[in-house]
């Protein structure tokens, strides 16, 4: 099994002797900044003038500055602005102030792996990527545990990049849960493949296809919604807690038999072939190129598809049904 790193493997001095600028205060940023600070790290938050996150960070008791000011007074920078904004931010507000031996840190490998950011040779470049949304990274830290994380070293100028990465992972609570070493290539390509083929693209199309099939056959759309979307959570919770075997143990034998008989007819050889094509496009940088171009041209395809998706009948029926689910957070 892959080696896991835990708190005992991390020497906290490597991050405590640094001043860390957390750039961005969104999902990941707020969790990293608060967790590091409460772990005893000297932290400053970097934001732009007029950012709605600014007041929030101040209210949370953090020191906040413009990005370039934060970079100037720090020697480790965690870049937590949206991936498509990182390249411009790096060029304008980080690169001009980099000093030899600084640490440039990411929570996702996209910009380094696809050469949208090319740092000078005399800085460390590494990743600490929690495997969970920022709000969970924060909540579990407060509860005294943590979300697992991946670390990867792209460039090791000081010879200490991995030590600093492990210390950082400890500071956000991730070393309590376990840290796995990966590469920028592996993290980036698997992350994109997973969200496209399985987690986001795969799941939403599967749900819609099931919903449409039932509704077109004359079944009530409310019933179709419950069966194809709402119940997904119950199944995913079982998968998360105990894998496929736990899910299959918990559902009825009828459901388990149907699973074995039908699953491969839905996700068939054609689907697997297509997944291989999708992966190849990611590996060759075709997906990255398209997404970068989208952002350079004002996101024409992205916006058109977003508008189209909200027209699907499952959106409206879901809105109405969730009104009645008083236990859901609004």
163 forms part of the interface with Mg ion (CB under 5 A): no
Among Mg ion, ligand NDP, none, partner that 151 touches (CB below 5 to 8 angstroms by kind): none
Q: Answer yes or no whether residue 26 interacts with ligand NDP by CB under 6 A.
A: yes
- Binding ligand NDP (rule: CB under 6 A), the pick from 36, 83, 211, 225 is 83
Answer yes or no whether residue 191 interacts with Mg ion by CB under 5 A.
yes
Choose among 91, 64, 90, 65: nearest CA to 79.
Answer: 90
Euclidean distance between CA atoms 180 and 6, whole angstroms: 9
Stretch that binds Mg ion, among 13-21, 79-87, 124-132, 188-196 (CB under 5 A): 188-196
Q: Are 151 and 133 in contact (CB under 8 A)?
A: no
DSSP type of residue 147: -
First to last CA, the chain: 41
Q: Which of 30, 108, 113, 154 is catalytic?
A: 108
Residue 128 binds which entry of Mg ion, ligand NDP, none, CB below 5-8 Å type-dependent: none
The three-point CA angle 255-256-262 to 5° equals 85
Alpha helices (runs of H) in 144-268, residue ranges in sequence order: 161-171, 174-177, 184-193, 201-216, 221-225, 232-250, 253-266
Distance separating alpha carbons of residues 309 and 188, to the nearest angstrom? 26
Among 10, 22, 81, 167, binds ligand NDP (CB under 6 A): 81
For residues 201 and 236, what is the distance between their CA atoms, to the nearest angstrom?
16
Would you say 26 or 202 has its CB closer to ligand NDP? Answer: 26
Of 179 and 215, the one with the shorter C-beta distance to ligand NDP is: 179
Cα 268 off chain centre by: 28
Residues annotated in a binding site for Mg(2+): 191, 195, 227, 231
The one segment of 50-58, 164-172, 221-229, 264-272 that binds ligand NDP by CB under 6 A: 50-58
Q: How far is CA 83 from CA 80, 107, 111, 284, 287, in A?
A: 8, 10, 7, 19, 14
Residue closer to ligand NDP (CB basis): 88 or 272: 88
Cβ(219)–Cβ(228) below 8 Å: no
Q: Per CB under 6 A, does 134 bind ligand NDP?
A: yes
Would you list which residues are annotated within the binding site for substrate? 252
108 classed as catalytic: yes
Question: Does 102 help bind Mg ion (rule: CB under 5 A)?
Answer: no
CB 145 within 8 A of CB 125: no
Binder among 52, 233, 265, 330 for ligand NDP (CB under 6 A):
52
**Positions that interact with Mg ion (CB under 5 A):** 191, 195
Interface residue list for ligand NDP (CB under 6 A): 23-29, 47-48, 51-53, 67, 80-83, 85, 89, 107-108, 129-130, 133-134
| Residues annotated catalytic, as ranges | 108
């Amino acid at each position: 099994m892959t080696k896991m790193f835990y708190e005992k493997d991390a020497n906290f001095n490597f991050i405590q002797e640094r001043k860390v600028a957390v750039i961005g205060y969104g999902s990941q940023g707020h969790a990293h900044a608060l967790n590091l600070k409460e772990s005893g790290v000297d932290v400053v938050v970097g934001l732009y003038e007029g950012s709605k996150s600014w007041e929030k960070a101040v209210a949370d008791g953090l020191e906040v500055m413009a990005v370039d000011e934060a970079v100037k007074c720090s020697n480790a920078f965690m870049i937590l602005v949206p991936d498509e904004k990182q390249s411009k931010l790096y060029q304008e507000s980080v690169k001009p102030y980099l000093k030899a031996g600084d640490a440039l840190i990411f929570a996702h490998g996209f910009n380094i792996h696809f050469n949208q950011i090319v740092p000078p040779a005399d800085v460390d470049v590494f990743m600490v990527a929690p495997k969970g949304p920022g709000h969970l990274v924060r909540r579990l830290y407060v509860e005294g545990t943590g979300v697992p994380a991946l670390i990867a070293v792209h460039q090791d100028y000081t010879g200490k990049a991995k030590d600093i990465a492990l210390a950082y992972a400890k500071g956000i609570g991730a070393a309590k849960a376990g840290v796995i070493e990966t590469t920028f290539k592996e993290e980036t390509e698997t992350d994109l493949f997973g969200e496209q083929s399985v987690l986001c693209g795969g799941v939403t199309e599967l749900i819609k296809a099931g919903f449409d099939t039932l509704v077109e056959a004359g079944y009530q759309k409310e019933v179709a919604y419950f069966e194809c979307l709402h119940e997904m959570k119950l199944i995913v919770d079982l998968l998360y807690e105990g894998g496929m075997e736990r899910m299959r143990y918990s559902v009825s034998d009828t459901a388990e038999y149907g699973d074995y008989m039908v699953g491969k007819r839905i996700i068939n050889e054609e689907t697997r072939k297509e997944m291989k094509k999708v992966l190849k496009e990611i590996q060759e940088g075709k997906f990255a190129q398209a997404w970068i171009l989208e952002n350079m041209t004002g996101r024409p395809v992205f916006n058109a598809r977003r508008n189209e998706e909200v027209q699907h009948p499952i959106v409206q029926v879901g809105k109405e049904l969730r009104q009645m689910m008083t236990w859901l957070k609004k």
